[in-house]
Structure 1
């Protein structure tokens, strides 16, 4: 960050390779871009479900009067993508690489040396993006405030965080604050369907086939434990996510002809299984444990 502020470009130390010498294999590797990057918004208008933020940013870009920014809200709502899209729109693809620096504020080097030991800035106008700014300590945030004041003529900062309450008031008062709303399920579904269409992918609304879930429940209700062991092993061996199986089982259990006490016992077990899965427990054992509880509750009818 210090070198960047002194005028060095991000790519200044990277040697340039001859494209002809790289060969066709290099070109193929270059095309293998993760979807999260391939379909990241290229301009501010592409940002989904954040109309207020987009409207204000567009006016700032049109007037070339970009303030210090503070983006806050739940993860996965487009905070980082929005500022990157705005920077590309402001600078273009070439200058973007030279004038935009993206840092993770949780990095120890950013929290200490890079903020307190900062060099004198040189033109041109630059943007520094600090992700996870809420992980910075109060002294580090105070040092950042002084830097923002000192270098306000040539640099703009964009702070990104999940919890605005963890940012000190002297910092928030020097930034234009934008709250990013959680994305509605419909918006997420539309975007995923759009990507599937562009990638020529076949998809189903249910990740696990409905017949497989129904068969598993039928064994829980009317089968034996030996058959249940085989059915659970088969569905796990197919490679389906235990978390997805759990989600679909939950929806099916709610619709079953069980009383409230039975449903409560099953859903309580589902919560325990979900926690165990997130902690890295064995998927087969957890699903077998859940299905055993379903079988036990169903036998009480």
Structure 2
């Protein structure tokens, strides 16, 4: 029913309208003062503006926490009317080798300027190879008079020390659910969308600190619900998007902590999870959260879960196989439970 409604809505709505009116862009903060819940970052950037002493920058933290928004707001206030002419953006995830740095970043850094500096923004900089990062470090040294670079990444640990040490580093934290919910209610009002606080809280909870995901989900919910967002729609869409069903989560949790569940039975449960196409990251996050809040397990077991959770995160950060990492996590916590 929802899919039919979704398709019929698209058939009656100009495609260009849907594509050009992305709510994440329409409601992206344009000023540093509008950025939510990153006070230390905002304060430091405002200090740089006042002193006119601009360092190279390294913004790191989870996706959807305002890294891209912050650097663009900073650039707008730094360059004013010349904002578009003074910034250059490159996504390192698709051009991660040393040649991309030499053929794209180096020529930009060598362009002549009548005065001031230019800003090169490197998205997903943690995808750059070590050789590419080393080449970038040399470019920073050679063009220090005219060029500043802002590296945006999820994991600062993936940036080599010689490059990171030449940048002012700022960590972006996941946004609290309450902050996201209030922003969703504000955007919904501006977009003439009906939504109650319960639905806003549900979308915010699913976003897990990612404002961009929350706003994107709100727009999807509004499109499918024809301007009305309720809890039922939220849950159905969450399932379509690969969210973790509570029944599956509870079954897996019980199988992990129950000694009476045979190994072959546990293996069958794990295989069914793989076949269901549930997002490994979503599942591990939800399961870990359940472990932390459960009264059925010991503090020692929580510690082991935390260790396994960190190992899973390392594999994902290095772009390893998520299914293999999920399997190691599940069997790791199960074995620890019976020791």
Shorter-chain TM-score tier:
0.5 to 0.7
Question: CA 1:122/1:161 → structure 2, altered by over 3 Å: closer, same or farther?
Answer: same
CA RMSD, 1 decimal: 3.8
| Structure with more helix by fraction | 2
CA pair 275-54 structure 1, distance change in 2 beyond 3 A: farther
Q: Which secondary structure state, in structure 2, belongs to the residue aligned with residue 153 of structure 1? A: coil
Cα 1:126–1:244 change in 2 (3 A) is closer
- Report 1:1-301 matches (<5 A): 32-92=20-80, 94-108=81-95, 110-111=100-101, 113-115=103-105, 120-123=110-113, 124=115, 125-204=117-196, 205-206=198-199, 240-242=237-239, 249=246, 273=273, 276-278=276-278
Misfit runs of 4+, over 6 Å: 268-271
Number of residue-to-residue matches in the alignment: 217
- Decide whether aligned partners of structure 1 residues 239 and 49 sit closer, same or farther in structure 2, where only a CA change above 3 A counts: closer
After TM superposition, the score normalised by the length of structure 2 is 0.55
Q: 1:179 to 1:198 in 2, by over 3 A?
A: same
**Cα shift at 1:49:** 0.6
Unaligned runs of 5+ in 2: 1-15, 201-231, 252-256, 280-339
SS in 2 for 1:102: strand
- Computing the radius of gyration over CA atoms, which structure comes out larger, 1 or 2? 1
SS at match of 1:66: coil
Higher relative contact order (CA 8 A, sep 6+): 1
The alignment partner of 2:74 has SS state of helix
- The answer to whether the 8 A contact 1:70-1:172 is kept is yes
TM-score normalised over the length of structure 1: 0.61
Q: Secondary structure at the match of 2:186?
A: helix
Contact 1:77–1:181 under 8 Å retained in 2: yes
